[in-house]
Homo-oligomer: A and B are copies of this chain.
């Protein structure tokens, strides 16, 4: 138990140290920093949810809308367009009746699987605490 905790901490320190080496510690978060630019593309709740759902495989527009509860058609379209422009998602239109449009991750999008999975894993691991802070942060609707 104790050893496991120390191992986790050691792993964390290794990761953080590796990062710091690359970031050169100071003033890296301006507009030219690649981490900053990446966050501009990714720091969006709907975009992340779409990417996570598309990790399951190719989906139609309506499937995405069904799986991602609470997304309006407008925001879904907007998010998909943005992801397409950023080359993370591919859009394929089938000239049929009724119309069919399929979305899938590009190879670039698939390369995000590891970071996104790490984020989801974190959420599952810390579920009780997350629920607590989420509930107290937003008074009952």
Contact = CB atoms under 8 A, between A and B. Distances in A.
A58 to B, nearest CB: 14
A134 B67 contact: no
Secondary structure dominating the interface of A = helix
B117 A34 contact: no
Given A43-B44, A68-B29, A137-B86, A122 B111 contact: yes
A48 B114 CA distance: 17
B119 A41 contact: no
B27 A120 contact: no
A19 B54 CA distance: 12
Nearest to A133: B86
A126 interface: yes
Contacts of A121: 18-19, 115
